[in-house]
Chain A
Amino acid sequence: MWRSGVTTFARGRQAQASPAPGSPAAPARARPAAVLAVIAAGGLAAIALWWTGTPPIHGLGDWLTNAGRLTGLACGYGVVVLVALMARLPPLERGIGADRLARWHAMGGRYIVSLVVVHAVLITWGYAVTAHTNVISQTKTLLVSYPDVLAATFGGLMLVGVGISSARAARRRLRYETWYYLHFYTYLAVALAFSHQFAIGAEFISNLGARIVWGTMYAGVGAAIGWYRFVTPARQAARHQLRVLSVQREGPGVVSIVITGRHLDELRAEAGQFLRWRFLTRGLWWTSLPYSLSAPPRPDRLRITAKQLGGHSHALAALRPGTRVLAEGPYGALTAAARRQRKVLLIAGGVGITPLRALFQAIPAGPGDLGLIYRVSSDSDVVFRRELEQLARQRGAQLWIISGRRADLGGDPLTPAALTTNVPDLAQRDVYLCGPPGMTAAVTQALRAARVPARQIHHESFEF
């Protein structure tokens, strides 16, 4: 059994699990595999467009040029996919989750940015070979006498710049907001590069149908961006009129904020989800902060809890009641809807306790069917201790608070063996996992080693 620093509560009196808040018809959730299939199908359609529109090729010049066309098509399609992933489409956010979407976007982004460079090189080289000129003069010709290529080149350079600024080495040096606003240049880059597809793209020049479809794709994603990232938050702001109700210190560097508003049930927020909050006060109004609900959402109030990380949280502690708040969301796939088994185990690492605290209260589970492991580096990092203990008693749930660094505990307390010893029916449980990326990765490995099926492991890691 886990040793010092552990508090264990066996099941106490019989208690009813708090019923899940009645939810209306379940909102649409996209399945990750289905989304990937759709993306792949679109890519194949783009390749088919090249295939049907290209006469037989022979010679180095043809090879290079057509390789350049294929990569160009892939880029033109790829940027649309990348933007769509970040358009905050509700089915994607609920079904795939913001962190996974961000990871897909990051991986795809690196690929597409590289592909843009490859496309430019191949086209220039291919044209040069076919026209029997050298690459330098061909570059000049392309930039000067081919329509829209100069604009597209600027767009491409912008994309490369954004890509560089998003590399891990760069992000460590950049403040989050700086990187965030730099990233908006991608919209400008796409706009600049769009027209050269139709002006000189071999597949589009004489194919009106292709132009219509392609243009519709771009327009559709643009409309989605406008609707879900601009119009919807504005509508929500007007509808809900969110304001700070109270600010409460939970512990050293941790503060809870209760937010009130009207018609909050229409948000359809679920325990385990987060929203992106914009507090309209000096120092915070220009940044959007993702914080999870730390208690199940009520029709008249929402509670979030934030840990002190950099300048923002100082400002958060100083928030005055009555401050207006804009919120986007809710987002996140770490909800009761992901559940398949009767029994549930929640594993929280550090600040990851926030969404799991809400699930600990709201996820439907009978006595003995729910457990929470709360892993922290030191006792002072524990938040919600009294609330958690109270909930454990009320719900007949198990609660383990494991504090202390590995060195002090004599190793990692969350090994497969330790997990199965303390939670014997681990493999029959749905495990919800939330914490820093390193911790979630390690625990996921341990769970898999303990034979918990991958589809029963649900996790969200805070790396935006």
Chain B
Amino acid sequence: MRRIILAIVSTTAALVFLLTFKTHNVSSVTAPPAAVGTPSASAGGGSGTSSGTGTSSGASPTPSSTPSGGSGASGSGSGISSAKTVTGDAADTIYGPVQVQITVKNGKLTAANATMYPTETPRDAQINAFAIPQLEQETVAAGNANIDAVSGATYTSNGYITSLQSALSKAGI
């Protein structure tokens, strides 16, 4: 009996020890590398205490697009009210690239669509099946890139936001 207890206790202790170390690394980290040069601030990094329930973790990437006179898209707010679609640069995550396409009408973001996201493994597919729609919804609701990352889909969220920012800056909003 003693051996059984010893085995259980030492296995649990070893697991907790190893996992705690991995968690501590997170507290001061910045988000994973993104291809486009927009730094996304500690999205997901500071959320070491997220409870993993259905709510998104708090994160607010700083919008970085410099106001530019028409970067790659037609004029700003002149009378033409046709909707245009802009695709942001693909952002790399360790599971694969994420790319976002937005629809802008009258200078307002009316739709967002992730055209590319990781689906290589069944796990990626399963996670992104709920993460992507949520991100797209939030994008339209917020109208900009100030959206929360989806808990449990940190890397996809970061890649999405990065690509979204690129699309927004290309669209000039």
- A contact residues vs B (CB 8 Å cutoff): 47, 50-51, 54-63, 66-67, 70-71, 107, 111, 114-115, 127, 129-132, 141, 145-147, 200, 205
Contact = CB atoms under 8 A, between A and B. Distances in A.
B29 interface: yes
B18 A70 contact: yes
Given A58-B49, A145-B122, 19 more contacts: A51-B18, A54-B22, A55-B32, A55-B94, A56-B26, A57-B23, A58-B47, A58-B48, A59-B51, A59-B52, A61-B52, A63-B19, A66-B22, A107-B3, A127-B126, A131-B126, A131-B130, A132-B152, A147-B122
Contacts of A70: 15, 18-19
A355 B54 CA distance: 68
A58 B26 contact: yes
Contact of A115 (B11, B127, B130): B11
8 contacts: A47-B18, A56-B26, A66-B19, A67-B15, A127-B123, A200-B121, A200-B122, A205-B121
Interface of B: 3, 7, 11, 15, 18-19, 22-23, 25-26, 29, 32, 44, 47-52, 54, 94, 121-123, 126-127, 130, 151-152, 154-155
Contact of B22 (A56, A71, A115, A131): A56
Most chain B CB neighbours (cut-off 10 Å) among A71, A127, A132 = A132
A255 to B, nearest CB: 39
A50 B19 CA distance: 11
B151 A59 contact: yes
A228 to B, nearest CB: 29
A107 B94 CA distance: 40
Most chain A CB neighbours (cut-off 10 Å) among B94, B123, B127 = B123
Contacts of A107: 3
B135 to A, nearest CB: 14
A59 B122 contact: no
A57 B19 contact: yes
Nearest to B155: A55
A223 B11 CA distance: 31
Contacts of B126: 127, 131, 141
Contacts of B127: 130-131
A141 B123 CA distance: 10
A47 B15 CA distance: 10
A114 B94 CA distance: 33
B130 A132 contact: yes
A55 B121 CA distance: 17
Contacts of A58: 23, 26, 44, 47-50, 154
A297 to B, nearest CB: 38
Contact of B152 (A61, A146, A147): A61
Contact of A130 (B15, B29, B94, B152): B152
Most chain A CB neighbours (cut-off 10 Å) among B25, B94, B122 = B122
Contacts of A61: 52, 152
A56 B29 contact: yes
Nearest to B130: A132
Contacts of B51: 59-60
